[in-house]
Amino acid sequence: MWDLLLTDANLATMRGGRYAAIERGAIGVAGGRIAWVGAAAALPGPAAGLARACESLDGRWVTPGLVDCHTHLVYAGNRAREFELRLSGATYEEIARAGGGILSTVRATRDASDTRLAQQAARRLRRLMDEGVTTVEIKSGYGLDTATEMRMLRVARLLGDMTGAEVRTTFLGAHALPPEYAGRADDYIDLVCGEMLPAVAAAGLADAVDAFCERIAFSPRQTARVFDRASALGLPVKLHADQLSDTGGAALAARYGALSAEHLEHTAEAGVAAMAEAGTVAVLLPGAYYFLRETRLPPVATIRAHGVPMAVATDCNPGSSPLTSMLLALNMACTLFRLTPEEALAGATAHAARALGLAATHGTLEPGKVADLAAWDIDTPAELAYAMGANPLYAAWKGGVRRA
């Protein structure tokens, strides 16, 4: 006897990163897992006798719950004033003097109480969940000192309890250079490797370790030091790579067997080939590309040609992508990066799960997987990437429990 049986549903199972659709399908759920998926006609008996609860979805589409695999959701304040200044013609220097930039977010985050951080982030997370997100990755990286980095990760974990979403945490101590280390990046990396990483690992607060490898952030050599330490502590790595210039970030990530390399606008073919070899997922972040009005597109054709799985995420953050809509991220991935709607949806389900190391349990509608489901008022799955500003979510289940 299953706990729940959903019938009269069209299923985009996303098996193998394709729609792999089953029309007039059904899904059985037991113990929070998917127990059965298939055509309703193939059910092993009359629906009423198979499950304690039975719900007809009247022909709606069901997809795996969406996975936002790259966010900086926990931060205090926002940068709307900076946005306004820039659009009024202020220069970078004037904005910095007015207290703008990433360090303004660091200051606000350090000053905020845990309660305030959690309340602000929960509001953003609920907006994602309202559009079918059931799993979200959240990075630290606005504390840049040991205590605040650990606070950010604790708040991120707390958000899971507050909202019912599944939260995967990533330690991003090497995000930017804190003001007290100005001109001493190597000393700061000493702190990240010698104090922060061991503390975060000992407290079990991170599922992965990330760094920002870029001319304006940390060098490949400094990034490698962080990755060496993470690997020694048994933590998987991922990397903000080649967003503004080709620093060889994608190849560096691949060398460490990274779960994912993210942004990739400037990645050359050798980097993509290394990712294919290592099984590293390419995470595309069209929200940042749009908000920063970048012009250099990620090498999607090359990524495709090498068979590297592509994920799509919001990169929700106050400076370069204040985006809390996975559906808009899917639309931008298609309109700006020329992904197909099927690729975009795979990027928000199967491949996003893989980017978080969750490929075995999340991201597709298959027996044995966690019953994270989203039901949509749509006639075809392409509508999820096609419409702008619409939210066709009808219902969502996390581990078989209805959340929306």
Name the 3-class secondary structure at 372. Answer: coil
Of all helices (H) and strands (E), which one includes residue 310? Answer: strand 310-312
Give yes or no for residue 137 binding Zn ion (CB under 5 A). Answer: no
Name the 3-class secondary structure at 4. Answer: strand
Tell me, by CB under 5 A, how many residues bind Zn ion: 1
Contact mark string toward Zn ion, 171..200, x via CB under 5 A:
------------------------------
Residue 315: CB minimum distance to Zn ion, A: 5
Residue 69: CB minimum distance to Zn ion, A: 11
* Identity of the residue, 246 or 315, whose beta carbon is nearer to Zn ion in the bound complex: 315
* Identity of the residue, 131 or 315, whose beta carbon is nearer to Zn ion in the bound complex: 315
Neighbours of 270 (CB within 10 A): 13
Report which residue's Cβ sits closest to Zn ion: 315
Residue 76: CB minimum distance to Zn ion, A: 17
Residue 177: CB minimum distance to Zn ion, A: 16
The β-bridge relationship of strands 51-56 and 2-11 is: parallel
Give yes or no for residue 294 binding Zn ion (CB under 5 A). Answer: no
Nearest C-alpha neighbor of 149 from the set 75, 41, 40: 75
Give yes or no for residue 214 binding Zn ion (CB under 5 A). Answer: no
Which positions from 295 through 324 interact with Zn ion, judged by CB under 5 A?
315
Give yes or no for residue 265 binding Zn ion (CB under 5 A). Answer: no
CB hemisphere CA count around 189 (13 angstroms): 22
Give yes or no for residue 242 binding Zn ion (CB under 5 A). Answer: no
Residue 318: CB minimum distance to Zn ion, A: 11
Contact yes or no for 101/319 (Cβ under 8 A):
yes
Give yes or no for residue 342 binding Zn ion (CB under 5 A). Answer: no
Cα torsion angle, 92, 97, 102, 103, sign: positive
Nearest C-alpha neighbor of 261 from the set 248, 60, 51, 128: 248
* Identity of the residue, 138 or 404, whose beta carbon is nearer to Zn ion in the bound complex: 138
Residue 375: CB minimum distance to Zn ion, A: 30
Residue 137: CB minimum distance to Zn ion, A: 10
Q: Which residues contact 216 (CB under 8 A, 6 or more apart)?
A: 244
* Identity of the residue, 166 or 315, whose beta carbon is nearer to Zn ion in the bound complex: 315
Q: b/e string for 222-242 if b means 16 or more Cβ within 10 A?
A: bbbbbbebbeeeebbbbbbbb
- Interface residues toward Zn ion, by CB under 5 A: 315
